[in-house]
Amino acid sequence: MANRSGNRMVVEGAIAAGCRFFSGYPITPASEIYQLMTERLPQRGDVAIGAPDEITALCYAVGASLRGFKAMTATSGPGWCLMIETVQYAIMTETPVVIALVQRLGPSTGGATQGAQGDILLAEFASSGGYTIPVFCPSNPLECYELTVHAFNWAEKLRTPVILLSDKEVGMTSESIDLSELGPLPVAEREKFDPSKRPDPQAFLPYFFAQSEDVPAFSPLGAGYKVTITGSAHNKLGQLKKNDPATLELLAHLQKKIDRHRAEIALAKADLEPGAEALVISFGITARAAREAARMARERRQKVSLLQLLTLFPVPEREITRCLDGSRRVIVAEENLTGQYRGLIRHLLGDREVIGVNKIGGMITPREILSAAIPMNSKRAAHFSGGKQTYGNDRSGA
Amino acid sequence: MANRSGNRMVVEGAIAAGCRFFSGYPITPASEIYQLMTERLPQRGDVAIGAPDEITALCYAVGASLRGFKAMTATSGPGWCLMIETVQYAIMTETPVVIALVQRLGPSTGGATQGAQGDILLAEFASSGGYTIPVFCPSNPLECYELTVHAFNWAEKLRTPVILLSDKEVGMTSESIDLSELGPLPVAEREKFDPSKRPDPQAFLPYFFAQSEDVPAFSPLGAGYKVTITGSAHNKLGQLKKNDPATLELLAHLQKKIDRHRAEIALAKADLEPGAEALVISFGITARAAREAARMARERRQKVSLLQLLTLFPVPEREITRCLDGSRRVIVAEENLTGQYRGLIRHLLGDREVIGVNKIGGMITPREILSAAIPMNSKRAAHFSGGKQTYGNDRSGA
Amino acid sequence: MANRSGNRMVVEGAIAAGCRFFSGYPITPASEIYQLMTERLPQRGDVAIGAPDEITALCYAVGASLRGFKAMTATSGPGWCLMIETVQYAIMTETPVVIALVQRLGPSTGGATQGAQGDILLAEFASSGGYTIPVFCPSNPLECYELTVHAFNWAEKLRTPVILLSDKEVGMTSESIDLSELGPLPVAEREKFDPSKRPDPQAFLPYFFAQSEDVPAFSPLGAGYKVTITGSAHNKLGQLKKNDPATLELLAHLQKKIDRHRAEIALAKADLEPGAEALVISFGITARAAREAARMARERRQKVSLLQLLTLFPVPEREITRCLDGSRRVIVAEENLTGQYRGLIRHLLGDREVIGVNKIGGMITPREILSAAIPMNSKRAAHFSGGKQTYGNDRSGA
Amino acid sequence: MANRSGNRMVVEGAIAAGCRFFSGYPITPASEIYQLMTERLPQRGDVAIGAPDEITALCYAVGASLRGFKAMTATSGPGWCLMIETVQYAIMTETPVVIALVQRLGPSTGGATQGAQGDILLAEFASSGGYTIPVFCPSNPLECYELTVHAFNWAEKLRTPVILLSDKEVGMTSESIDLSELGPLPVAEREKFDPSKRPDPQAFLPYFFAQSEDVPAFSPLGAGYKVTITGSAHNKLGQLKKNDPATLELLAHLQKKIDRHRAEIALAKADLEPGAEALVISFGITARAAREAARMARERRQKVSLLQLLTLFPVPEREITRCLDGSRRVIVAEENLTGQYRGLIRHLLGDREVIGVNKIGGMITPREILSAAIPMNSKRAAHFSGGKQTYGNDRSGA
């Protein structure tokens, strides 16, 4: 058993998932993933490349994936900006690829060594058209491992980019992990085109689907079938066709194939207390404070329910609404100013009191969550504590 | 009187607003703005530059603005991706700049000559931290003119990037406009640092605010005061300070200065029908179809209320909630698959029936809006019409 | 009268020559040119741009020139490398442009603050095909002024890139210069296409020449005549034609138009001593040491002739051979290791003893030149003096 | 036995020489090398990367070499321009790397599918400082193989970039080659740092030499010794030191280590005819025409001597002067306008008549060489033949 950071466990997860290609450009706090992938992959005969910039880093990973290799990159907010053009190319070309996005304080170059949960919207809404990009969000090294495997699996199954949304605290905090005890997680592969299943194997269509929500079978570049690849709107052959119904259907299919698997993609951990007035929703590093807040509450015989979201997108609506029963108050704790995720789920929360616990420049503390969940113990005014600013708890609802 | 396109009227608006610098990289359907600015500005002794790429295009505009000139760029979705790194730099450095974003069909290079309203989330949520970027959305050439002036005014007053979110149909459709009849719109200037107002003029702080929501007085680079400019988190002097309360307060200030002016920034046109069961919310090109749908309804003596949003962000919450009275049904019509704006305002709509009219690859028709607003006339199933796909009207709510 | 550096006088020369556009990327020791052009040109309503890199810097200047404006950039060795692709484009498209190349110690980033005369071959032989690029080489601020005017004049007259090859010592050393006493130098303009001289003005050919050595009349982009511009081999219309005799003739013409003016381009200053055994050939900063060496020799009643080359390319063969009479010994002094220019002119020197005085990391001293010219006073072995290395005087010939 | 092109045999040579890394950017007529390396290296567990541009292509190869792997790139003239910055970095950092430069017609993008021998000066004089870069020049597929091995060997032995200067005709012409009959050529490795040979292994100096002309022993990045790498002038430790004697000695050493091996690097094939009046000097594709010209002459009982240079740089002076005996006339045949190589060796040819046979846009024919070598059969005026232009035979000398 040894101490392993979240970043390191992302690497272990990637390798367990069958990642064979990594390209990246170093950036704090994601550099450890870059460094370890660069060490580990070549030892296995696989390839890790330092790219000249982030644009190229994701382009390389997309290229490797199109050749049939599971591929990944890792970056932080400032680098992610430069990848947005290419992540759309991956969406349009239905290319599986995993991006580990280790958040730091923004905007712009912001604070390289300060954690944050501020890239939720920047990550998810990276496409012209608003196509859903699956986003998984770990809170500790073990979840880094598991969710990285999930990220690869869903990237492959749905032929789509997937984001592993970590942050500086999760990525750089080490915990004792026994690699040998990690349960073997199922590993998925993209469906390969099988000529024996098709009446006319010559008629390979690189973007064929029978139903809009199906995922096309894949044939790698160079494997004998003609694969046309373009970031422009195209039909099932890959041909550019303007305002063609088949082309528009294909664009809709890009969203429908994700939507269809919404329920399976949704991962969450609930710790519900019968009769609890308050439900705390959290994710990532903040989920750790939430767990501690609940423990403290229970010590005082106060009831607080917890919902930790491991999947942020597609929004796990059912998991959220299921946990609402009886709660009159919902706390959404996230390390950003504006309550990014709270804004997206507020319509699911009905007329409950919704309280955002938000802060930047430091981790949200269990006490801050607790005082929002059990308000009689709290003034709930904006305050400075320990050099960190609490931006103010936003209260809305009936 | 002559026919003038929306793109041309963006240029007229920019010049009326005092724009003195343009840099761009040509892209359909925004190239006309590039072309006209390149003709017009040098005639006035001002500067227009063709940049080698979109990254540079926005960097140049930011640089010109920091020297004290009102500055602008124009692009479409694929180019906008490359500007996201720099728009954050503008947010962090409190640099006024206007970006005309003329939407086309995405994702990726998508359809260069097809309109869309798919960049709403991509435009607004372009920052790590989720800082509000004001977004104005015209539906015709005249509004292009007026909202471009507004965009410059708010960019200057708030020292922030502002987006003029047009689209291919609005940008390239011409209407008869008499320039001489355009009312003179008020033109705002950023507040210049005035040493006479300060006890110690030596003590110029480039990012000084007394209250968090104030906007710092500006002194251009090269004007005699030391201006430190960095994309990293900094205090009022521009010094990098890690986890310093003053630095965190400055980051909060970046959001608060926008929030404070929420009400003034909000622009909308309401056409309410007493007793109407349905309210149609729309913006941009789709607002034209919505107006026509209302006209058709009224011809049939059916009551439909209209709300056209000219400001998309900050979300004009008051304007929206004010118009809800009596409506049991809210239709949000937008030319994208997933109902990007509808998702953001749904929590404001209470338990009303919310119907999204969404479509890609072609303009939403008045009839499509009408059949959603007055459902007895409609099957409201997904259907193909005229080669365009209606993705399906999403119905939610009680 | 004020002290003005060589770099400053390059700027004065450029403005006197009618330069209206500058683009650059700062690099020691050329940055002063960048800075001053950026100040001066906008004051006149002209344009100076900071480019995002050296590739773009020269591209911009070429673009401005194609629009009809006299244009310039300035750089040092590391930046020049990045301009080589584009200087060839200027050769092929017959675009006048001046590049001020202020040498520093190489190779690679070498020594930013150390002078050198090491870019002679790198500058001249920058084209695939070995096309002659005129190169002028000043030794003091006044010559910087005059040769910059000459550089613009020949660029315009021959529609070709021209290099002003300065160095760190020349560029950054100031001398007392009275601007008002600078004689008005003739200023040349590229020949404009004159439709009245042509039977059929419609038949404008952008690369027309009657004789191979003629220079085509110019019409700027956007002035009404169709101008096709390509870096690929083309005929007089600008059309790509493979292995077409007219295309090959045009390629030969690119060299012949320079060759024809060889004699006029050649500038040199000779100070010949009848009966002198030794001729010292020098240029740039080293010419100053050579003059001092001759003065010292003459004080001792020793005879030394001097030839300072102001034009390095086309090699002023006639000026060199004319000065050889009677000399049994030729000294070529240059601040580089391998005797770059000596190697190129050695065949002109017949069976005379040829001695290279070469040194890097410091200026060649008058004494070093003198001891090569009057050998009895010298051991002429490689030695270190004052922290500078003398690489060794190479002696060749009969 | 199969037909194999020169490009293919470059690949075979690289693999025989132990090349383990290739990075490139495709360009006609070098793309076949890119394509084959991309196929072949991964099959051996080695790495081939398509770079996003030529700058990156050479940077990657330099990086791989610094990690201890033999590395190569391939390009043509337009791409070479972009590599010049980095080739200087390789010179300064003493990094072995091979660049296959397959010439096409310039200047600029020129003629992608037309051969040329126009990059001789552009290739050799690519450094600020004029440092000698070894250049080998094959005339057929077999020489491509052998000289590529030599190129790697000298790159490794001297820790320097080396150029394999091929051209479109040599690269793309196939000949029957039996790979199994290729004699095993000796393969050299860079000298590795051996701690047992040093009194204090801790005192590893990455740029240590006892004598200026020695080559430092190499230790790869990451192998345990500290290796400081900089493109700036440095001492034996890699430390930047301005005007330090040790630093200047190191710069001189970069040239001296090449000079010392001049004789060994020199490769040439002479076919001397006793009593021949004319010596034809040629290289690359033109050597094939020269051989045929000699054969034709001998059929007519005319005496013509041949010297084919396989090494162009360092100039094989001894091989050239040795072959001059008795010849009153020297013909230098090269496929460029200005006689690039002739200019560099003219001083070695004494007062012999020197005739340049030059041509662009097509191969020089045996007859053109013959008529220069045996002048009574020739008018030797510029003429057009078969759609190709003969630029004119330049005659100089006594």
Q: Which residues of chain B have pLDDT under 50?
A: 377-398
Q: Is A326 left (phi over 0), alpha (psi -120 to 50) or beta?
A: left
Token duo for residue C243? 């292995």
Instruction: Report the candidate in D362, D377, D359, D358 with the shortest Cα–Cα distance to residue D304.
Output: D377
Query: Does B63 lie at the interface with C, CB-CB under 8 angstroms?
Result: yes
Query: Is residue D381 packed enough to be buried (19+ CB in 10 Å), middle (13-18) or exposed (0-12)?
Result: exposed
Query: Does C183 lie at the interface with B, CB-CB under 8 angstroms?
Result: no
Burial B353-385 (b: 16+ CB within 10 A, else e): bbbbbbbbbbbbbbebbbbbbbbeeeebeeeee
- Residues B290 and D247: their CA atoms lie apart, in Å, by 76
For D97-150, what is each residue's pLDDT tens digit? 999 999 999 999 999 999 999 999 999 999 999 999 999 999 999 999 999 999
Angle value at C-alpha D108, between D105 and D112, nearest 5 degrees = 40
Angle value at C-alpha B73, between B70 and B75, nearest 5 degrees = 160
The better pLDDT of the pair B381, C289 is held by C289
- Residues D348 and C347: their CA atoms lie apart, in Å, by 8
* C108: chain D residues, CB-CB within 8 Å: 85, 88-89, 91-93, 128, 231-232
pTM (predicted TM-score): 0.93
Of B105, B122, B343, the CB nearest to A233: B105
Q: Is D257 left (phi over 0), alpha (psi -120 to 50) or beta?
A: alpha
Whole-number pLDDT of residue C20? 98
- Residues D314 and D267: their CA atoms lie apart, in Å, by 10
The better pLDDT of the pair C391, A318 is held by A318
Whole-number pLDDT of residue A199? 63
Whole-number pLDDT of residue D6? 98
- For helices B31-43 and B6-16, the axis angle rounded to 10 degrees is 30
Whole-number pLDDT of residue B202? 66
Does residue D386 have a pLDDT over 80?
Answer: no
- The band of D377, judged by pLDDT with boundaries at 50, 70 and 90, is very low
Mutation pick from A20, A21, A55, A56 vs chain D, by most beta carbons of D within 10 Å, is A56
The one-letter amino acid code at A179 reads: L
Do D103 and D165 touch, CB atoms closer than 8 A?
yes
ipTM: 0.94
Whole-number pLDDT of residue D375? 81
Beta strand ranges found along C223-309 (DSSP E):
268-271, 278-282, 304-309
For A41-77, what is each residue's pLDDT tens digit? 999 989 999 999 999 999 999 999 999 999 999 999 9
Whole-number pLDDT of residue B393? 46
Whole-number pLDDT of residue B303? 93
Q: Do D107 and C254 touch (CB under 8 A)?
A: yes
CA of A190: how far to CAs of A96, A133, B186, in Å?
8, 17, 58
Percentage of chain D modeled with pLDDT above 90: 87
Q: Do B45 and C45 touch (CB under 8 A)?
A: yes
Q: B117-126, C171-180, C250-259: which range is least confident on average?
A: C171-180
Does residue D397 have a pLDDT over 80?
Answer: no
Query: Is residue B186 packed enough to be buried (19+ CB in 10 Å), middle (13-18) or exposed (0-12)?
Result: exposed
- Residues C331 and C319: their CA atoms lie apart, in Å, by 15
Nearest chain A CA: its distance from D149 CA (Å): 26
Do B352 and B327 touch, CB atoms closer than 8 A?
yes
Does residue C391 have a pLDDT over 80?
Answer: no
Query: Does B37 lie at the interface with A, CB-CB under 8 angstroms?
Result: no
For C141-153, what is each residue's pLDDT tens digit? 999 999 999 999 9
Whole-number pLDDT of residue A31? 98
Nearest chain C CA: its distance from D156 CA (Å): 20
Torsion angle of the four alpha carbons B56, B62, B65, B71, in this order, in degrees rounded to the nearest 10? 60
Instruction: Report the candidate in B175, B31, B41, B192 with the shortest Cα–Cα distance to residue B100.
Output: B31
* A251: chain B residues, CB-CB within 8 Å: 105, 337, 360-361
For D239-266, what is each residue's pLDDT tens digit? 998 779 999 999 999 999 999 999 999 9
Instruction: Report the candidate in B324, B280, B325 with the shortest Cα–Cα distance to residue B298.
Output: B280
Chains that contact A by 3+ CB pairs under 8 Å?
B, D
Nearest chain C CA: its distance from D122 CA (Å): 5
The residue count of chain A comes to 398
Residue D61 neighbours by CB under 8 Å, 6+ apart: D21, D22, D23, D71, D72, D73, D97
Whole-number pLDDT of residue B114? 95
Our measurement of the distance from residue D384's CA atom to the centroid of its chain's CA atoms, rounded to an integer in Å, reads 31
In this structure, the number of other CB atoms found within 10 A of the CB of residue D207 comes to 23
Query: Does B384 lie at the interface with A, CB-CB under 8 angstroms?
Result: yes
Q: Which residues of chain A have pLDDT under 70?
A: 198-199, 201-202, 376-398
Q: Do C47 and B47 touch (CB under 8 A)?
A: yes
Q: Quick check: do D and C touch, 3+ CB pairs under 8 A?
A: yes
* Residues of chain B numbered 66-125 and touching chain A (CB < 8 Å): 77-78, 80-82, 84-85, 88-89, 91-93, 103-114, 116, 118-122, 124-125
CA of C199: how far to CAs of B375, C211, D294, in Å?
73, 18, 52
Number of Cβ pairs < 8 A linking chain B and chain C = 15
Whole-number pLDDT of residue D387? 32
